[in-house]
Amino acid sequence: MNNLIITNARIVTPIGHSARKGKEMSKLLLIERGTIEVKDGIIVYVGEEKKHLGNDQMKDVRHYDAKGRCLLPGFVDSHTHFVFGGERAKEFSWRLAGESYMSIMNKGGGIVNTVKATRAMDFDTMYDRANKLLRRMSRMGITTVEGKSGYGLDCDTELKQLEVMKKLNEKLDKRVDISATFLGAHAIPEEYKGKSDEYIDFLIEEMLPIIKRKKLAQFCDVFCEEGVFSVEQSRKLLTAAKEVGFALKIHADEIVSLGGAELAAELGAVSADHLLHASDAGIKAMADKNVIATLLPLTAFALKEQYARGREMIDAGCAVALATDLNPGSCFSGSIPLTIDLACIYMKLSIEEAITALTLNGAAAINSADKIGSVEVGKQADFVILDSSDYRYLPYYIGMNCVGTVVKNGRIYEIEN
């Protein structure tokens, strides 16, 4: 049933159809005793409680009393790598013993390790594993997720990852929508070792046309980092991707300040992600060019690295989004509660800013702010209802899930915590 009336909800939401920047990120609409009407999965009314509900034309309507609990837009996790094979628990132990991310890569670990396991995994097993992760995401209030390829680094496996996401997105009873990103430039595969320029050419000449023709991804991404792909190589790939119709993302300035944020601004990327070492000039360029800064505090936490300068980015006028970076190596976690805690405690975001970052700005980071990310008429009926009437409970309940109910496309799913 996709026709729904929610009453007695304390509605908290950002407003708009584009990313909120700077001081605007802290502005939320609060409706103390709110009503929401949903028809065919789309919001048709949001406002104060009405004596007469406008549902005369709606059949098979479900009525839901929120009992004064806080209702927010569904969370948008705008940077993940949730489709993969294998696991890397041994590498995590190495990291605990003091090994760096790059030293583990040099020992044959890191992304290349996952590539071997992902290439060996069949489609059905990959699908089932990814589907299980999506259900876990849903229980924490994620209603839309961005998923990247990048664990194949060859034609067949990259396509397999993207086709798994496409099939998951076509499920009639899906709890999470998927925005797909092609990240063939995630690492240099063994067969192209010492030939990274040739690998970029392979991605441009062979992979981009196939993926575009099959409509398997909306975005193209690149790991622009010292020892992986240079600024020049990243510019070449992303320029070619833009020319054939892909929107752009970039893994930027995660390990060193390489100029990835500046490149994102130069090329008009939708988002630049990670940004632990983004320069002042890069931050200003992103603010000026409306590039969304997608920050991933779980990864900094797992790698014991400094956090991205979220407070400074917002104060400089940037639009900041938050995401989990769920992946099998540097951050095997999709914890929305811990993401919020780290953003508020260590990156100095207010809870209002964190909510905007995980909803409307996350939606904008996948070019979907016109459809999701806020509780407004005309948008998709994706909500989370907390186990509290106070949205400030989100960072206060440290590391614990306080989502009691998820609404996806007007369908209600109760969560057991």
Question: Angle of helix 155-169 relative to helix 123-139, nearest 10 degrees?
Answer: 50
My answer on whether 182 and 265 are in the same domain is: yes
My answer on whether 189 and 317 are in the same domain is: yes
262 inside domain = yes
Mean pLDDT of 94-122: 85
Contact 100, 256 (CB under 8 A): no
Looking at residue 14, what is its pLDDT?
98
Domains: count for the chain: 2
pLDDT bin (cut points 50, 70, 90) of residue 105 is confident
Looking at residue 56, what is its pLDDT?
55
Q: pTM of the full predicted structure?
A: 0.96
Q: Which of 364, 388, 403 is the last residue of a domain?
A: 364
My answer on whether 49 and 158 are in the same domain is: no
Q: Report the candidate in 136, 160, 227 with the shortest Cα–Cα distance to residue 188.
A: 227
My answer on whether 150 and 270 are in the same domain is: yes
Q: Which of 346, 364, 382 is the last residue of a domain?
A: 364
My answer on whether 43 and 94 are in the same domain is: no
My answer on whether 226 and 127 are in the same domain is: yes
My answer on whether 232 and 185 are in the same domain is: yes
CATH code of 104's domain:
3.20.20.140
| Residues spanned by the domain of 286 | 76-364
Greater model confidence, 193 or 416: 193
Instruction: Write down the residue that tokens 């496996």 correspond to.
Output: 157
Looking at residue 58, what is its pLDDT?
64
My answer on whether 85 and 11 are in the same domain is: no
- Cα 271 to Cα 286: distance, rounded to the nearest angstrom: 9
369 inside domain = no
194, burial (CB in 10 Å: exposed 0-12, middle 13-18, buried 19+): exposed
205 inside domain = yes
203 inside domain = yes
My answer on whether 307 and 334 are in the same domain is: yes
Q: Is the pLDDT of residue 358 over 60?
A: yes
Looking at residue 53, what is its pLDDT?
53
For the chain, give the percent of residues with pLDDT over 90: 88
CATH code of 15's domain:
2.30.40.10
Mean pLDDT of 321-347: 97
Instruction: Write down the residue that tokens 């960072």 correspond to.
Output: 395
My answer on whether 222 and 93 are in the same domain is: yes
Mean pLDDT of 334-338: 97
Q: Which of 325, 343, 364 is the last residue of a domain?
A: 364
Q: Report the candidate in 292, 367, 280, 337 with the shortest Cα–Cα distance to residue 139.
A: 337
The model's pLDDT over 293-315, given as tens digits with 9 standing for 90+, comes to 999 999 999 988 999 999 999 99
Question: Angle of helix 111-120 relative to helix 155-169, nearest 10 degrees?
Answer: 70
The model's pLDDT over 144-163, given as tens digits with 9 standing for 90+, comes to 999 999 999 999 999 999 99
Which range is least confidently modeled, 16-30, 57-71, 117-131, 283-297? 57-71
My answer on whether 54 and 200 are in the same domain is: no
My answer on whether 102 and 8 are in the same domain is: no
134 inside domain = yes
The model's pLDDT over 35-80, given as tens digits with 9 standing for 90+, comes to 999 999 999 999 998 754 555 566 689 999 999 999 999 999 999 9
Q: Is the pLDDT of residue 107 over 80?
A: no
